[in-house]
Structure 1
Amino acid sequence: MAPTKTLVIVESPHKATMIAGYLGPKYVVRASQGHVRDLPTSASQVPAKYKGQPWARTGVDVEHDFKPIYVVSPDKRSTISELKSLLKDSDELLLATDGDREGEAIAWHLLDVLKPKVPVKRMVFNEITEKAITDAVAHTRELDTDLVDAQETRRILDRLYGYEVSPVLWKKVMPRLSAGRVQSVATRLVVDRERERIAFTSANYWDLDATLVTDSREEFSARLATLDGVRIAQGRDFDADGRLVGKGRGEVRRLDEPSAAALATALESSPFTVTRVEAKPYTRRPYAPFRTTTLQQEAGRKLGFTSQRTMSVAQELYEGGYITYMRTDSVALSQEAIGAARSQAIELYGRDHVPDKPRVYASKVKNAQEAHEAIRPAGDHFRVPAQTGLTGDRFRLYELVWMRTIASQMADAKGETLSVGIDAMPAAPVAIPGGDVTRAGFTASGRTITFHGFLRAYVESVDEGSSDDAQSRLPQLHRDQALDCSEVLASGHDTRPPARYTEPSLVAKLEELEIGRPSTYASIIRTITSRDYVFKKGQALVPTWLAFAVTRLLEGHFSNLVDYQFTADMEETLDQIAQGNAKRVEVLSNFYYGDGPAGSDSSAEAGVSGDSGSSAPADGHEGLHRLVSELGDIDARAVSTFPVGAEDSGIVVRVGRYGTYVEDAEGTRANVDDELPPDELTVAKARELLASPNGEERELGLDPHTHTMIVARNGRFGPYVTEVLEEPATDAPATVSGKG
């Protein structure tokens, strides 16, 4: 009798090699090379029997329960053939793809394509170590069809959104643009922030800093807080229009430069007296272990990694057996991992740095979808970074994960926070606008860490330079203590517009709004930057005027599709499908045909049974099908035209099919540099461009074949030439794509 063979299928060759090393000769481990099939990506991939159907280009039969048409891509045919051949000589099939929704879907596709006649089991593991792999073989399960349904629904939603909405952008804005269910919302977030910056009006305010000296000649700084008991205005007291706000102007006093200078001069020779000393105990708990989004954010802040780079390096570490699975919402650690972290912390920092009881973390992420652990070093005994043999980015990311995991099981940091109030009494009242000043109140604060605890292992980047050890120390002070003043400096400040998003802060915002899944954020950011919707200025994400035009069109005609709450509700609905509490067809029907009276195309008319509204992400909305069918009210020129400065400036910025330009009332045009942030395109800057010959396009002559004008322009990557056609003001698709 021939020995039994078990075929194990994973996604990547590297994983296959690692796992094969832990399994005996009875197991054959092969890689599917990722997804083995998907919806068709071109007309040539659509099976012949579906060609001619109105929905064929999408690959989704919207007329019959949104049945997807899957095709095996040409580059995967040899993989499928090999797997089928190996399956013929196997007695069992283990589908060992990742344990998340996408991995479950890949397993289902493999099952559907291979059609095995031998027993099939699902093998799931969270790390690639010998113990984890042998445990996974011993504890297999059935395929989770609810997870498959959730992933398939997401894929179909994204396909319908992209394939139905993108052509609208081609017609009304520019050829070859793309729209996406989460991509377009992420773009809107970046655009909304830039709108806030454009509308922002800066305000100027002044304050004072005093350098004070104790009788033992110890120096420290204190900042002006009040004048005769009335609080001094700070940046937080101004609104986006530059107006002083609050409970009332009488409760906040604004200093200008002359007033601040007069006060500084008067107070330098004034007596300073401590009026208040408040000491409070300080305790800081360690941070939870990493999950996908916190790893992306912290790697961005500490290491300067893009989200894409973080996930790519993390994938290498996972497949190499160095860390656990990196796509997870969980912050929980297994008992083995807790034990490993605690013992290593004791070994490195001492028994007093580890609490008596293990720390247990619970996820605060709504509908945390996978039953994984947090991201941590693999194994039940963690390798310190120096023992791994890793180098470069892999070493740096592993070290970050290792430090965070160890710190999560360490003791609280403890110390004391000191807050001091100090009064200065000028010899004579200081006359400034708003009333004479007879008493100036200063404050100083500091923190002393008496026991560092977990801070010896890890300090999160958002705290570096702003808290914990970074706060200044204060000398010993007591009430009624007299202080000398060595200097009082007046300093002016301008309020700043809200900061642009960076990759870490955009990831944090998407998660806060419950939009998208952590595993998709890296690809979303890569997409919006590669499609010229967003570019980077340093670490900041800056929207292009093209992004403004696309967002305006979507907000005006597809408002639900870029609505933050609608998109979050759709994510909730997908979670409900994963939990078996919502039905795929009903969700898709509601999205595509609308629900109830708001759309004349109802699910009933589409031949779909059941209460489609029960799984709706919103009530009374028009479906996608109707929205893309009624485009007559979209003014293509208006969508892409924005006033520069006030409406009466007579200057507009316009997104043309071949670039962005400014135009004045006389019709004079000048190109706009692709890397000029929208909030920097002021009226003065626009006039400078219009007055500069270098800002204008230069006509080079007619193309002898097409008889269209060839012009030279300056673009993001330098000068280029392109054909210029009449700009269409109708729904007619453009005949030339790209920007030259």
Structure 2
Amino acid sequence: MPPRTKSTNSGTRRSSAGSSTPVVEPTAGDVAAGPDTDAVTAGNGAVSRGRTTRTARAATRGSRTGTSSPAASGTGVRLVIVESPAKAKTIAGYLGSGWRVESSIGHIRDLPQSAADVPDAHKGKPWARLGVDVDNGFKPLYVVTPDKKSQVSKLKALAKEASELYLATDEDREGEAIAWHLLQTLKPTVPVRRMVFHEITEQAIRRAVDNTREIDEHLVDAQETRRILDRLYGYEVSPVLWKKVMPKLSAGRVQSVATRILVERERARMRFTSAEYWNIEGVFGLLPGRDADRAGGASGDGQVDATPLPANLVALDGRRLATGRDFDSSGQLTSADVVRLDEDAAHALAGRLADSAFAVRSVETKPYRRSPYAPFMTSTLQQEASRKLHFSSQRTMQVAQKLYENGYITYMRTDSTNLSETALAAAREQARALYGAEYVPDRPRIYTKKVKNAQEAHEAIRPAGEQFRTPGEVRETLADADGYRLYELIWRRTVASQMADARGTSATIRIGGVSSAGEDTEFSASGKVITFPGFLRAYVEGADDPDAELDDRERRLPDVREGDALTTRELNPRGHTTNPPPRFTEASLVKTLEELGIGRPSTYASIIGTIQARGYVWKKGSALIPSFVAFAVVGLLEEHFGRLVDYRFTASMEDDLDDIAAGTAASIDWLTRFYFGSDAGQEGGVARAGGLKHLVNERLGEIDAREVNSIPLGVAPDDQPVVIRVGRYGPYVQHGDERASVPEDLPPDELTVDRALALVGAPSEERSLGTDPDSGATITLKVGRFGPYVSTDDDPPRRASLLGTMTPETLTLADALKLLTLPRSLGVAEDGEEVTAQNGRYGPYVKKGSESRSLESEERLFTVTLDEALALIAQPKTRGRRRAAETPPLRELGPDPATGAPMVLREGRFGPYVTDGATNASLRKGDDVASLTVERAAEMLAEKRARGPATPRRRAAQPAKQPAATKTTRQSTAKKTTARKTSAQPATATGTGTGTTTGTDGGGTPGTSSPRPRRTG
């Protein structure tokens, strides 16, 4: 056997301070005490762990984090645990016999997500809603997640039979935390080794087996601190949003700041006033008659260079012509030293220049040189895949994850642009073989730049292995089209990063002429000639990056010299308008978050997904558009919790968390300052304000719900304000006493005062149809989010959607009474089950128990008999695809660029969708049946393929409710007092209430939670 590092003892977790906390079996009623804290476990596998103080840790920093334990008798098989089944399958193929590779299927434990997850022993405790004992060292309570219990049982059984256990989860914070949780939950009695690698190749796996290490306690602390911070933020701030804005909203450390970035951009667009300016675009040419050696070139054939010379008017009488950058957001010029032409002036000037003589006044040439881009890290991969492949950030990470797990690329969550010596050699050799020796510089290019607040660095994202496989070599083995495209992008970027600079010459030509009125004019043309393409042979930056496009594109100009006379071929006045700042795309939002030092590249995809899932943002094409709910939430946070969404403060939190990861700061001290406050905090910061808890309690009563939910638009001609208000059921516009709902797909910057008044002034589609003769209830026609429907005013109201053949304009009382008979009982079958005819969101159908069958038309709802319904139910189900095939498509879109299969647009039970015969993708908000492009259809199908088939969820059994505990929790909330903590030994405070289940960074839905002991010092 190769030499090993000392293994980690399976029965204890040793802190950086060297003391250990016993690990207890997750069985009901077990209690184990550690040196400084009690560790309590409950029947669902909950474990608390004591937290260590900075001082105690520092005293014994040199102690090792684990001890060897003798191998228990077992089968001799060595067990390797990774995160995913795909990763397990690939690694198993490399290790061969004598090894067993299994997956944990992600995290196996987390803080409780709801009150049902909290063990009975902790229900009713003051901190139960948080899942973190804030009054006892911020001990988190971990429970085995319900959907992982069976997998944990399987892993426990395998660990008992194994001779050694290798924890081979990812080498980042999350991976280190998963390894620690596996160790604590499985409690193996055999040697345990931490095995790490950043690519899945046979050589890399063998090296990892030969070079195991211990679990990195600093990384575990860093992940745990972030998780606790996100829970505290989400569970304290989200309830404020429920009370003051709308139920089921969430706040999060990063998601709220990301939402603010989008809202601020939309506000800027709403404030923007466009300005118009004009210039003249000229096209010039060389006059014949120049000496032969210049005109004829090398051949001396006397032919004049006929290349057109396009140029723009840039100066008039020595003053620069105004361009878009000379206007502010209000449409006013920012300088008095420029000339602004309007349409009439531009046309008049062009007329005065029609017969003018023009000549070259100057030719300025400079050498052009451009270096290649650094290899990809997570954020730049997301940005470039968005530009070049039209992938969402989430889709990029899904595809990259598969490539990594199957051994095609290195680990895809990284902040580093560095390449290993092996990778440098592989990239240089491949560039030399494919493009020639002159395309490879003498020395390897070293990219050492890391992003601000970067996580512990891995290698850059590159093709896996000691020799890179070209895209052509992986095409046959990589069946997934999206995977191939992303691999090719990564391969090109990596190889190009080790290639020579692109070289050439750039030129600026100034052309002068005098108008018939004596006005001096000057035109300018710029061009570039690339004499040696260098890395551009392999890679050009995404075309929607304006800077990169201008830098990488060649623009040839004719061969002219100072004094050359020119002919005027065209003089075209052109009008321009200034544009508001562009909306963020996923790529540009990722870039902005990275530049601000907010969040981590590994979490950007999930953050963008979260703010869309919460309804704060929706997409129109590739643009991210904030909703009016986002406006209300951001406005509330800015006004009352400004530091929580302050860019610098959020970035400074990342700095502090990185210090904890590096072991230079203590997590308990930091959490204490953040949650309970400290005089040592930043001026104006959360700590100096008394901590998060005090801040929330103090500000809650000050918040005027109507004010934060009101977004002023302007003033109407009658001097009354026009306001958008966010109500519990969505946004609406108000002018005086008149109101109107805001269409869901209307971007905020398009809702002007005029548009709002038009909505308010539109004739109401709600009208009374009459009275139900049986009940006396009034029946009203209304229009809701899902279309027109009829409703009664009795309690509870009866409602029914209009059929497809009905229109609101022609609907009668008789029609409404007919609709309100649905669902219609047809009778009882022989087995005693009732049979009904119903109209659902997917169309008309008959139902008996759990069986349902579609009806051929809506009219049959009122005519189908019991016998006909039973006969229909007795027939086998007709699947949706067969029915769809019998219906003509709405549009034929052409072949899918990825698969070559024909794409069509169909109307389905869920609404319009795109299909290539194998994959279906529903149209989203902002997509239009009439204007849907081939590119957008292909993007939707590719995203659906990347997500893979849906997996049915098994509903977990819900434990019986305990009213007494809940009641105690609510009562103690009012009595809770906040004690300010000033040292590593926290003061005691009690309290509880309802919380929010956090997502990636703290947002979520309500729940109750409890703690687990952390390491003690």
TM-score normalized with structure 2 length: 0.66
Amino acid in the other structure paired with 1:581: T
Structure 2 unpaired stretches of 5+: 1-72, 288-303, 796-993, 995-1003, 1006-1017
Aligned-partner residue type, residue 652 of structure 1:
V
Contact 2:643–2:685, Cα closer than 8 Å, also in 1: no
What is the identity, as a one-letter code, of the residue corresponding to 1:678?
P
Distance change (3 Å), C-alpha of 1:413 and 1:636: same
Instruction: Return closer, same or farther for 1:469/1:632 CA change in 2, 3 Å cut-off.
Output: closer
Q: For 1:673, give the aligned amino acid.
A: P
Higher relative contact order, structure no. (Cα contacts within 8 Å, ≥ 6 residues apart): 2
8 Å contact kept, 1:671–1:697:
no
1:137 and 2:209 matched: yes
- Aligned AA (1:14): A
Q: 2:740 aligns with which of 636, 661, 670?
A: 670
- Does residue 1:657 correspond to 2:728, yes or no? yes
How far is the alpha carbon of 1:619 from its aligned partner? 6.1
Secondary structure of 1:675's partner? coil
> Structure 1: how far apart are the matches of 2:211 and 2:704?
60
Letter aligned with residue 532 of structure 1:
G
Query: Contact conserved, 1:569 with 1:618, CA < 8 A, in 2?
Result: no
Opposite residue 218 of structure 1, the aligned amino acid is T
Verify the 8 A CA contact 1:570 1:617 in the aligned structure 2. Answer: no
Structure 2 counterparts to residues 326-405 of structure 1, below 5 A: 326-388=412-474, 389=476, 390=478, 391-405=480-494
In structure 2, what residue type is equivalent to 1:690? V
CA distance in structure 2 between the partners assigned to 1:722 and 1:533 by the alignment: 30
Return closer, same or farther for 1:344/1:532 CA change in 2, 3 Å cut-off. same
> For the Cα contact (< 8 Å) 1:281–1:415, is it kept in 2?
yes
| Match 1:640 to one of 704, 709, 731 | 709
Inter-CA distance 654–3: structure 2 relative to 1 (3 Å threshold): closer
- 2:576 aligns with 493
Residue 652 and residue 351 in structure 1: after superposition, are their counterparts in 2 closer, same or farther (change >3 A)? same
Q: Please point out which of 494, 501, 504 is paired with 1:412.
A: 501
Q: Give the whole-Å Cα distance in 2 for the aligned partners of 1:65 and 1:592.
A: 12
State how 1:242-641 maps to structure 2 within 5 Å.
242-246=331-335, 249=336, 251-388=337-474, 389=476, 390=478, 391-429=480-518, 438-461=519-542, 462=545, 466-468=549-551, 470-596=553-679, 613=681, 620-630=688-698, 631-641=700-710
Q: Contact 2:88–2:103 at 8 Å: present in 1 too?
A: yes
Pick closer, same or farther for the CA change 1:210–1:615 going to 2, 3 Å: closer
Tell whether the 8 Å contact from 1:126 to 1:372 is kept in structure 2 after alignment: yes
Would the alpha carbon gap of residues 103 and 702 (structure 1) be closer, same or farther in structure 2, given more than 3 Å must change?
A: farther
Structure 1 distance, partners of 2:338, 2:383, is: 37
The answer to whether structure 1 residue 56 and structure 2 residue 142 are counterparts is no
- The offset of 1:699, in angstroms, is 7.4
The offset of 1:649, in angstroms, is 4.4
1:37 to 70, 87, 109: 109
Contact persistence 1:668–1:690 (CA under 8 A):
yes
Partner Cα separation in structure 1 for residue 201 and residue 82 of structure 2: 15
One-letter amino acid matched to 1:677:
P
Q: Please give the secondary structure, in 2, of the residue aligned with 1:466.
A: helix
Distance of 2:706 and 2:757 partners within structure 1: 22
C-alpha distance in 1 between matches for 2:473 and 2:173: 34
Q: Assess if the C-alpha contact under 8 Å between 2:454 and 2:600 holds in 1.
A: no
* CA spacing shift, 1:614–1:226, aligned 2, 3 Å: closer
Query: Aligned pair in 2 of structure 1 residues 573, 700: CA closer, same or farther (>3 Å)?
Result: farther
Match of 2:553, as an amino acid? A
- Can you list the C-alpha shifts for 1:434-460, whole angstroms capped at 9, x where unaligned? xxxx20011100000001111011001
Kindly provide the amino acid, as one letter, of the partner of residue 676 in structure 1: L
Question: Is contact 1:586–1:615 with CA below 8 Å preserved after alignment?
Answer: no
CA contact (8 A) 2:364 2:507 kept: yes
Q: Number of matched residues?
A: 699
In the alignment, the residues of structure 2 paired with residue 567 and residue 465 of structure 1 have an alpha-carbon distance, to the nearest angstrom, of 30
Q: Secondary structure at the match of 2:589?
A: helix
Contact 1:447/1:468 (CA < 8 Å) preserved in 2? no
Q: Is the 1:448–1:473 contact (alpha carbons within 8 Å) kept by the matching residues of 2?
A: yes
Return the letter of the residue paired with 2:650.
Answer: T
**CA distances 1:92-139 after superposition (whole Å, capped 9, x unpaired):** 221110001100111111111122222222111010000000000111
Q: Identify which of 225, 236, 240 aligns with 1:153.
A: 225
The answer to which structure has the higher helix fraction is: 1
Look up the equivalent residue of 1:683 and give its one-letter code. V
- Give the whole-Å Cα distance in 1 for the aligned partners of 2:583 and 2:766: 31
- In 2: Cα distance, 1:331 partner to 1:201 partner: 41
Q: Match of 2:579, SS?
A: coil
Q: Do the aligned partners of 1:662 and 1:672 also contact (CA within 8 Å) in 2?
A: yes
Amino acid paired to 2:312: R
2:529 maps to a residue whose letter is: T
CA distance in 2: counterparts of 1:337 and 1:84, whole angstroms:
38
> 1:433 corresponds to which residue?
none
Shift of 1:258: 1.3
CA contact (8 A) 1:582 1:615 kept: no
**Could you say if the C-alpha distance between residues 708 and 65 of structure 1 is closer, same or farther in structure 2, counting changes exceeding 3 Å?**
farther
Q: Under a length normalisation based on structure 1, what TM-score does the superposition of the two structures give?
A: 0.90
Per mean C-alpha deviation after superposition, the further-off stretch among 14-23 and 509-518 is 14-23
Structure 2 residue identity aligned to 1:31? S
Q: Aligned equivalents of 2:357 and 2:687: distance in 1? A: 67
Alpha-carbon offset, residue 476 of structure 1:
0.6
| Partner Cα separation in structure 2 for residue 519 and residue 721 of structure 1 | 48
Query: In structure 1, how many angstroms separate the alpha carbons of the residues matched to 2:788 and 2:653?
Result: 44
Percent identical among aligned pairs is 59
Check whether the contact 1:673–1:714 (CA below 8 A) recurs between aligned residues. no
Distance 1:199 1:26 in 2: 68
Partner SS for 1:50: coil
For residues 232-270 of structure 1, give each alpha carbon's deviation from its aligned partner in whole angstroms, at most 9, with x where no partner exists. 110001111111013xx0x21111111111111111211
Question: Compared with structure 1, are the counterparts of its residues 428 and 593 closer, same or farther at alpha carbon in structure 2 (3 Å cutoff)?
Answer: same
CA distance in 1, matches of 2:770, 2:185: 57
Contact 2:689/2:695, CA 8 A, preserved across alignment: no
Distance 1:383 1:700, change over 3 A: farther
Q: Give the CA deviation at 1:466.
A: 3.2
Task: Using the TM superposition, give the Cα deviation of residue 74 of structure 1 relative to its aligned residue in structure 2, in angstroms.
Answer: 2.0
| Counterpart in the other structure of 2:762 | 692
> Residues 47-80 of structure 1, C-alpha deviation per residue, up to 9 Å, x if partnerless?
1122112321111111111110100012212222
SS in 2 for 1:153: helix
Distance 1:721 1:160 in 2: 45
Q: Is the 8 A contact 1:411 1:453 kept in 2?
A: yes
Partner of 2:88: 16
CA distance 1:201–1:276, shift in 2 (3 Å): same
Q: For each residue in 1:717-738, what CA deviation from the matched residue of structure 2 results, as whole angstroms up to 9, or x when unmatched?
A: 655789999xxxxxxx9xxx99
Give the match for residue 605 of structure 1.
none
| Contact map agreement 2:110 2:143 (CA 8 A) in 1 | yes
- Assess, with a 3 A threshold, how the Cα gap between structure 1 residues 720 and 672 changes in structure 2: closer, same or farther: farther
Does the alignment pair 1:128 with 2:200? yes
Q: Which has the larger radius of gyration?
A: 2
